[in-house]
Amino acid sequence: MDIIYLHNLQIETVVGIFEWERRVKQTVSFDLDMAADVHQAAASDNIRDTLDYKKVAKRVIEFVGHSEFHLVETLAERVAELVIQEFNVRWLRLRLNKQGAIRGARDVGVIIERARED
């Protein structure tokens, strides 16, 4: 299995359970590792034959930027569903970091792995 990855994608969004979190946008960071077969793209040297990570990034930025979830778990799940469905990804690992959410901890978040159901 080949993996196309997109790491440290930082997006401003509303996410959290506290009242103050519902009023301000916070920065969350995503790491996406996505299964892809790069053989055809490597042979053709054509972007149409691969998973276009720029398109993935733009779509995730648009979705997350307009979302207002309470839990990072829900946000992660919805982004995973979006990538799998809209970009025909067979499998992905998604890491969502809500940096600074806990005093004394630099990073906090969730890591999920999801696969397309055939």
Work out whether the CA dihedral 114, 36, 81, 57 comes out positive or negative. Answer: positive
Rg of the chain, C-alpha, whole Å? 15
The span from the CA of 107 to the CA of 12, in Å, is 16
Q: Is 61:25 a contact under the CB 8 Å cutoff? A: no
54 is a catalytic site residue? no
Residues marked active site are found at 98
